[in-house]
Structure 1
């Protein structure tokens, strides 16, 4: 290097190019005693400081340079670890050690640049420090450290980026040798001045802590804008300082082994070679890859949500390992379904579930959109990966291969996106089954994927595949459980005779996702409606299965029109026969809209809330508690409650009002208060209750609800007396004509003339059967006008009629066939006195 000639302020591009171009894979020390521009690439130590002044990232280079392990540095005050911290001594105190044998920092640039971290940085600063570092022989060496500090701005937690390099190699190793370099100082260069900017922008994100593409790009952009680091020689030459993460070749180590073997064969002393820096770099590279895999393992699988896991896996490799990462999964995996055994073939469909890249936004979105489903032919490397289950390495995608791959995308030309890039395809498999694969690409300017990258990618894919399989299995099991739960819960119509209904079922948290809570509504004779809410103790599939059995039993016994107390008694007996573990609470209510009353019985359940329409007052109904279903030996009592049109009945399970550590009275009070709030609809009223109870326990600091919830609300509208017509008919065939005439006349009075003929015909058939089978009691005929026209015929015979297939010569057996054809709906059920046969007709539109 020309030391004596002064040059103008314009940096010489040739010097920088030569220095970086001859760097090789490591940085070299100059031969003899002179330093030169051939010093090569100098490794950077990278440190990130957060807004609290604590170290948030400490690279492997920082550990080697400053002698502090990453585990010891993270979270410590940066002012205690870095030479950019502390007050600067006077120039005459240069290289003076402090009392602890540590370092003394001084400003090597000149006045005007603040190198003190605790004073704050409004612009980039640089400096030098003389450090005492551990030597290979166990002693200590002196290191001449140059550092650059960049203040970071933006939404992240990063406050300061510090880059440091060891300039010791640029000085003569022999103190007696003449100085080859008069002055060495850190400096800044804009990207328009020196060629090292592109390499810094490409390699710096690899050393920075794993972060999103946007955050890494933001930090690198700030560094390039403020000026990237250079080393100034003799006040007129500059060398760019760029990161080096390469791995030295093993030639030197192999040669050293050969020399040692020859010396041993000839009986000579073993050669005292200098430590192999290439070996150290290789070990460092392996360690960094292991650290990378460890970091990735900690970032993926944070939840069992399949979609979130897919995003975590994709973001874990970009930009640190690859510049583009596309994730493909089998279509059945995404849908949570099973798929056939065996190796995938050309008919297997693959779903593109994620795409992460460092290119400009939107460049990939239109060409390879997320969500596309496609097969892959046998000649592609993707097919080879998914059939063999092994990684496929393509050092660089040729134009021919790029054209072959692009054929799969029909009218979209992806060749500009992939041609010339290095590609690694890794399988995502678990339990020897290929679930999908990842396509990893690197920019042409970046180092090609190599065999070590293949091993790293395979290990990464193995860990990601296991996490994805766990998420897939959980998603599948959750889907099965929810399907089972939904299949067991009834689909209740929003309207019954004289009442409106609304329901809510809320599954619990992960521990109680599937439970035994249920609700139901059963149509009863006499335009009545049975309302049921129950809660099987425990959670899981066993509780859900038990709930299905009890719900079916309640429906069957309700169809027999058993009184509420008797129904609970029979249900208790059934539970005891099924097993000792069958325990449940149940609340059973029968609403009679004609009589305007409720008949309720309770088996260990929380009481219902009745909201009075007259004044909006809500109250907990005082019912005999009873014992849970399955206990046995405890009587059940029924309570009759008078209601008025517009009153609302709210029935729920304890999961809505009960929280661990809180008195249930708090929840019941909140239930009463929220149930009384006016709402535009029944659905809105249910939502109001759910939100109010959740807010109550949230304010109490009880956390999220863990139990499932069943909620049933009924608005008791009643049926006006003028919409009901009843007759008592003697068990005499002559009464059939009277019944037909009475029905016709009533329907004419109600303005339902279009229904007179079919209704009279069906009433004639039902009354004829009732008169024929009745014993002593009169036959009861009732018409009820509501949302439909309901007709009921009751007699004292307990034998239910059957629908028969009458032949051409048969004189009987056609009555119920006529009813089943003409009626909207019909049925028969036993009553306390006998049986009831009914049918419904749809009212004509006005």
Structure 2
């Protein structure tokens, strides 16, 4: 028979006498310097030296196999300190896979103990230090096991069969981690990509018979499809009896190496989704052909540790599926993201409730029908019948977080007791990293919820100004910080603009931020001047704790007078963009000391502004990058703030894009931009009234005329009623001094009534016979908002009337 034709044939397809079996392989990896970088336990048994001795040694000294390596590699080459250059020495010899046979005497044995070695050498190219993969098999053991090969037989030769039970590249990729389990998935994938066109190593016993060479994991081989030349019991493994102990030890070692590699591959991230993908992918294809991970709802949602054991009502989410079947085969029947409760009397429910692995060596048609019948509107039988099933629980602190479903194809050895132990250990390690990711996700959700609850919902329209804000969390793990911004509506159509930064990160910083923000809002509502507000805030921080430090910038915008009053406590200066020429500048303010330092005075500065000017306040996380001067960031802020924009939101986005792309940002960022529109003089009316009840009628008349002048007849009736109630209170309880009335048109109508009685009014519930006490109740029901503030010896009662229903 023609040898080339024979190698193209698949076993069992062109020969009647073909036997399938397994014998151990020696696996050696040689790096580019000609040194051994991997030496399997099988190589140690075959060639003598152990792994500790062989790794790092010149390969020519350890592989006395004639023809396996070029002769010049075994010569004494000059040592330049880097070892021999394997790439140069091999040259054209290893451009293609080579194979051969050699007789040798292992170290420590006599000439009568020579062994017959068959070997294959695969060249490895591409990145990485590995250069050559060498596989070797002891044909002596095979001869002793089969009993029909004698010294004169020369028909034993290695070959490369392009179809040997592996008709597609996908089959080879699926089988290679099983063939070379101690190579690891990374190197196995690299080998797969290079030997798909080179063929699969086989032993040729004759022109009609081949045996695939694969490692043995301590499980007797399945009976072959064809009878061997010498009939043997079908349950007897094709290995010598004295090698069983070594192979069982190798099987355990392979599993330990697999678990070790899995442990190093999972848990690389605290992201729950990434951890789930790592855990599921670790099992395929080396341990199983299908892996599906299911988690309880509380775990997936980051709601904390699940309460109690699962039961028939517990929802399980299928969070990831990995398999090596054809794409899309599982998608419709077991879609990722599906949530359902597993029915009782299924192995999935048994594993979930007991917390113990469930092993089914083969899913019979009867069992497959019963499992499929428990799930409505889906037929699982084509996917599971005939496969080997192993379900392992994912547990942490003795609580079941979920489980993993593992399946093997019918053409693969079924799961056994050792696989059950391996799968349980895999699940235990996976459960640990999943719980770590769950706890991190839960803590991050708690911190983010806390911080989000403390950040204000800023109204985009304030009296005389438009506001836009942005907040970016930090890029570090535990990214919660203490940056905040705020706007506070003040009497007189004024607006307080605040930005602050608590030093540090984490829950403590976020909690302190909430306390300081509340204090600022309270003092701002009391019309505390900017410098005095920062002094009070400094005293509060020192009372709260010694380590409470923060920076803060507090500005009050008066749209009627067209000015800003600003006080700074160690914060970066704001940017003012002038509408007249589009230029931007950093406002020069007294820096002050951070809040919490104590003993340092604060000063307020007044800045004149024109309608259309924009004020930009931000925290240092936007402009400060480690390794760069903060001046560069401030200059970039000025430049980007001055860029023309169609809207306030677009202007904020322009700043974020310009500065957030600078590498190295780790801190959180708060950005507040206000366009200072001002209020025109003809939209403000102010009158002085005497403390006389007859002035109430005059106040109604003045308000009616002004509203009609502004073209607001629909607002007259409600406005007159509210003004009458508030002015009457000021005349009766205002201390006998003059009363001020001001009306401002700024989106809505703002009314302010000022008298000389500093005591704030108290809204009461009037009885049926009471003649007074109803005025503020009417204001509260009809006005959009109302309030009262005191300043010096005077108080102001104000209310807003919406111009649109």
Compute the TM-score of the two structures, normalised by the length of structure 1: 0.82
2:384 counterpart of 1:401: no
Contact 1:17 1:195 in 2 (8 A): no
For residues 226-375 of structure 1, the aligned pairs below 5 Å read: 226-233=198-205, 236-247=207-218, 276-338=242-304, 341-375=307-341
Q: Is the 8 A contact 1:191 1:197 kept in 2?
A: no
Q: CA deviation at 1:179?
A: 3.1
Contact 2:359 2:391 in 1 (8 A): yes
8 Å Cα contact 1:205/1:220 also seen in 2: no
1:633-782 alignment runs, 5 A limit: 633-696=599-662, 698=663, 703=664, 705-775=665-735, 777-782=737-742
- 1:518: how far off? 1.4
Mapping of residues 809-824 of structure 1, within 5 Å: 809-824=769-784
Matched with 1:189 is 161
SS at match of 2:691: coil
Corresponding residue for residue 795 of structure 2: 835
Change over 3 Å in CA distance of 1:514–1:843 after alignment to 2: same
Residue 595 of structure 1 corresponds to which residue in structure 2? 561
Tell me if 1:118 matches 2:66.
no
SS in 2 for 1:453: helix
Moved more, 563-572 or 504-513: 504-513
CA contact (8 A) 1:248 1:281 kept: no
- Summarize the Cα distance change of 1:663–1:70 in structure 2 as closer, same or farther, 3 Å threshold: farther
Matched residue SS, 1:413? coil
Q: For residues 659-695 of structure 1, give each alpha carbon's deviation from its aligned partner in whole angstroms, at most 9, with x where no partner exists.
A: 3343322222222222222223222322332332233
Q: For 1:205, which of 177, 181, 196 is the aligned residue?
A: 177
The separation in 2 between residues aligned to 1:539 and 1:416, in whole angstroms, is 54
Match of 2:236 in 1: none
Cα pair 1:134 1:140 within 8 Å, conserved: no
Corresponding residue number in structure 2 for 1:147: 120
The aligned counterpart of 1:532 is 498
Equivalence for 2:431: 465
Please tell me whether the aligned partners of residues 310 and 354 of structure 1 are also in contact (alpha carbons under 8 angstroms): yes
Structure 2 distance, partners of 1:80, 1:773, is 109
User: 1-side partners of 2:609 and 2:504: how far apart?
Assistant: 35
- Structure 1, 53-62 or 379-388: larger mean CA deviation: 53-62
Q: C-alpha deviations, 1:40-75, integer Å up to 9, x for none? A: x34344567899999887655456556676688889
Deviation larger for 378-387 or 357-366 = 378-387
Does the residue aligned with 1:546 lie in a helix, a strand or coil? Answer: helix
Counterparts of 1:615-626 in structure 2, within 5 Å, are 615-626=581-592
| Offset of residue 392 of structure 1 | 1.1
Give secondary structure in 2 for the equivalent of 1:435. Answer: strand
Go from structure 1 to structure 2 and tell me whether the alpha carbon gap of 1:600 and 1:132 turns closer, same or farther (over 3 Å shift): farther
Deviations 1:557-608 (A, max 9, x none): 1001011111112222222333322222211100001111000111122211
1:779 Cα deviation after fit: 1.5
Aligned pairs for 1:127-166 (under 5 A) are: 127-128=100-101, 133-134=106-107, 144-149=117-122, 163-166=135-138
Aligned match of 2:474: 508
Structure 1 residue aligned with 2:24: 43
Indicate the residue corresponding to 1:558 in structure 2.
Answer: 524
Range with bigger deviation, 727-736 or 224-233: 224-233
Distance in 2 (CA, whole Å) between partners of 1:46 and 1:190 is 21
User: Aligned in 2, Cα 1:187/1:285: closer, same or farther, shift over 3 Å?
Assistant: same
The answer as to whether partners of 1:609 and 1:651 remain within 8 angstroms in 2 is yes
Once residues 665 and 217 of structure 1 are traced to their aligned partners in structure 2, the CA distance between those partners, rounded to angstroms, is 50
Distance in 1 (CA, whole Å) between partners of 2:115 and 2:74 is 11
Question: Using the alignment, how far apart are the partners of 2:480 and 2:496 within structure 1?
Answer: 25
RMSD: 3.8
Q: Which residue does 1:807 correspond to in 2?
A: 767
Tell me by how many angstroms 1:803 deviates: 2.1
Question: Structure 1 residues 400, 215: CA separation in 2 closer, same or farther (over 3 Å shift)?
Answer: farther
Post-superposition offset of 1:415: 0.9
Contact 1:534 1:587 in 2 (8 A): yes
- Residues 593, 453 of structure 1: alpha-carbon distance in 2 compared, 3 angstrom cutoff: same
Q: Which moved more, 1:430-439 or 1:239-248?
A: 239-248
Distance 1:691 1:222 in 2: 44
Going from structure 1 to structure 2, the CA distance change for 1:310 and 1:512 (only over 3 Å counts) comes to closer
Inter-partner Cα distance in structure 2 for 1:136 and 1:458: 42
Q: How far did residue 621 of structure 1 move?
A: 1.1
Structure 1, unaligned runs of 5 or more? 24-40, 90-95, 101-113, 251-273
Q: Is the Cα contact below 8 Å between 1:775 and 1:797 reproduced in 2?
A: yes
Matched, 1:180 2:152: yes
Greater shift, 833-842 or 216-225, is seen at: 216-225
Tell me: CA distance 1:679–1:78, structure 2 relative to 1, closer, same or farther (3 Å): farther
Give SS of 2:163's match.
coil
Which structure 2 residue ranges, 5 or more long, are not aligned? 78-86, 222-239
CA deviation after TM superposition for structure 1 residue 451, in Å: 0.7
Could you tell which deviates more after superposition, 656-665 or 142-151? 142-151
Counterparts of 2:168 and 2:669, CA distance in 1: 64
- SS of the residue corresponding to residue 534 of structure 1 reads strand
CA distance in 2, matches of 1:487, 1:709: 17
Tell me if the contact between 1:131 and 1:145 (Cα under 8 Å) persists in the aligned partners.
no
Distance 1:10 1:542, change over 3 A: closer
Decide whether the 8 Å contact of 2:476 with 2:667 is kept in 1. Answer: no
Shift of 1:229: 2.5
Structure 2 CA distance, aligned partners of 1:785 and 1:172?
Answer: 105
Alpha-carbon separation, structure 1, partners of 2:520 and 2:99: 82
CA contact (8 A) 1:427 1:461 kept: yes
After the TM superposition, which residues 471-510 of structure 1 pair with which residues of structure 2 at under 5 Å, given as runs? 471-510=437-476
How many Å apart are 1:528 and its aligned residue? 0.2
Aligned match of 2:233: none
**Deviation of the 1:612 alpha carbon:** 1.3
Deviation of 1:527 after TM superposition, in Å, equals: 0.3
Q: Deviations over 1:336-382 (max 9, x none)?
A: 11365332211111111111111111000100001111112331112
Q: Deviations over 1:733-791 (max 9, x none)?
A: 11111111111111111111110111111111111111222235422211211221212
Residue 78 of structure 1 and its aligned partner are, at CA, apart by 8.4
